[in-house]
């Protein structure tokens, strides 16, 4: 009988496509970066989330320890209200939502809201181990209470006046100074510019006493003037941002406008400013947010004039009075943050463009 030849096993080696491997690597890199950025963003926004959650709670909800503003659901029985719990049936193990009427150590009495005619139900077990039935219950009345107690329309208007007029002064003066440094052949221009930039590192507390003494001598304390007028004399940081942007605009455009008979002021208004809108918006937002959040300067100049207080001082004084009610403290902070957050949300694209183009990482 002839022997049958058994063919040898053939090992097939499959090679992964280089294109597929490269695609997988790119996907993993992007996924890792996205995950890292998401975690970083979550950590960065966690204080804001805590502020929102606390501002929508009352004292009882804070004591319950829930992350969100949750309240226990209650059922009215015989003229009283009792909390609902998820109670397992001792016989079937089914979960019922019953109202706890009488608390006991090993035996408690419940009532079934779906069938109150059945009477009270005796349940064997420790009621503290049961999960309460809760619902999402934000306390919007906190904001109404803060709005009235803080006299928010008045302090909001005060802050808006100081911030807007100061922003106008900052823009007018900083644009004019930056235009001069960027376009005019001023003798010793570079030295003057370095002296101006060096004032950025000058501590505010060094000039605090002389500045306050000067404003007190001329009778400006107790008014908004010390908070507005100084911004009409430019700011070194804003001048630097604007000058850097102006220098990126080709001078040929200035020369073309001069050929058409434009004056230096017309060149600034019609040629430079329209192209510098991103950085101008960035400077505007920077100053507006600074003026909105400024607490120290309004405190020392307006301490005796509560009718002129901006929102920063008014909120701090309100928090001193209601420090034992953290939900009201957080609600005032949310109201104070509302307008700057909305402005930045709608102007963020122009703001980031202005900061990036000037080459300054803010």
Task: Kindly indicate the confidence band of residue 203, based on its pLDDT and cuts at 50, 70 and 90.
Answer: confident
Percentage, residues of the chain above pLDDT 70: 91
The reply to whether 315 falls in a domain is yes
What pLDDT sits at residue 355? Answer: 56
Residue 227 near residue 162, CB atoms below 8 Å: yes
Verdict on whether the full-model pTM lies above 0.95: no
Beta strands (DSSP E) in the chain are: 70-72, 74-77, 80-88, 95-102, 107-111, 120-124, 131-132, 134-136
What mean pLDDT is predicted for residues 242-270?
91
What pLDDT sits at residue 353? Answer: 65
Rounded Cα distance between 57 and 62, Å, is: 6
What mean pLDDT is predicted for residues 329-354?
81
Task: Kindly indicate the confidence band of residue 354, based on its pLDDT and cuts at 50, 70 and 90.
Answer: low
Digit-coded pLDDT (tens) for 215-237:
999 999 999 999 999 999 988 99
Between 249 and 360, residue with greater pLDDT: 249
- For residues 100 and 223, membership in a common domain is answered with no
The reply to whether 10 falls in a domain is no
Burial class (CB in 10 A: 0-12, 13-18, 19+), 272: buried
What mean pLDDT is predicted for residues 81-90?
90
What mean pLDDT is predicted for residues 186-203?
89
* Domain end call among 119, 136, 153: 136
Number of domains in the chain: 3
Residue 295 near residue 281, CB atoms below 8 Å: no
- For residues 131 and 153, membership in a common domain is answered with no
Residue 295 near residue 336, CB atoms below 8 Å: no
Q: Which domain holds residue 111?
A: 70-136
Task: Kindly indicate the confidence band of residue 351, based on its pLDDT and cuts at 50, 70 and 90.
Answer: low
What mean pLDDT is predicted for residues 229-258?
91
- For residues 126 and 262, membership in a common domain is answered with no
Interaxial angle between packed helices 311-321 and 152-183, expressed in degrees from 0 to 180 and rounded to the nearest 10? 140
The reply to whether 286 falls in a domain is yes
What pLDDT sits at residue 362? Answer: 37
What mean pLDDT is predicted for residues 161-165?
95
């Amino acid at each position: 009988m002839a022997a049958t030849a058994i063919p040898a096993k053939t090992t097939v080696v499959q090679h992964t496509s280089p294109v597929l491997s490269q695609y997988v690597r790119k996907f993993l890199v992007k996924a890792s970066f996205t995950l890292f950025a998401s975690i970083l963003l979550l950590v960065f926004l966690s204080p804001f989330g805590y502020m929102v959650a606390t501002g929508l709670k009352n004292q009882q909800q804070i004591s319950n320890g829930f992350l969100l503003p949750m309240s226990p659901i209650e059922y009215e029985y015989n003229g009283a209200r009792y909390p609902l719990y998820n109670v397992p049936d001792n016989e079937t193990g089914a979960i019922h939502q019953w109202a706890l009427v009488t608390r006991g150590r090993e035996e408690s009495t419940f009532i079934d809201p779906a069938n109150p005619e059945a009477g009270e139900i005796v349940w064997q077990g420790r009621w503290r181990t049961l999960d309460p039935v809760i619902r999402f219950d934000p306390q919007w009345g906190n904001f109404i209470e803060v709005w009235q107690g803080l006299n928010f329309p008045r302090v909001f208007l005060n802050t808006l006046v100081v911030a807007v007029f100061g922003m106008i002064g900052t823009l007018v003066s900083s644009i004019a100074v930056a235009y001069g440094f960027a376009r005019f052949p001023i003798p010793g221009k570079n030295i003057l510019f370095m002296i101006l930039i060096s004032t950025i590192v000058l501590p505010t507390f060094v000039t605090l006493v002389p500045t306050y003494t000067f404003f007190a001598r001329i009778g400006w304390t107790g008014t908004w003037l010390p908070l507005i007028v100084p911004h009409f004399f430019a700011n070194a940081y804003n001048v630097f941002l604007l000058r850097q942007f102006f220098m990126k605009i080709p001078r040929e455009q200035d020369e073309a406008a001069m050929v058409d008979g434009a004056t230096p002021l017309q060149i600034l208004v019609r040629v430079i400013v329209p192209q510098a809108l991103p950085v101008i918006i960035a400077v505007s937002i920077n100053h507006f947010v600074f003026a909105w959040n400024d607490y120290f300067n309004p405190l020392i100049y307006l301490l005796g004039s509560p009718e002129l207080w901006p929102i920063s001082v008014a909120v701090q004084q309100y928090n001193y009075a209601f420090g034992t009610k953290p939900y009201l403290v957080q609600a005032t902070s949310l109201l104070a943050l509302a307008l700057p957050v909305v402005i930045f949300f709608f102007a963020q694209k122009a703001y980031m463009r202005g900061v990036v183009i000037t080459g300054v990482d803010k």
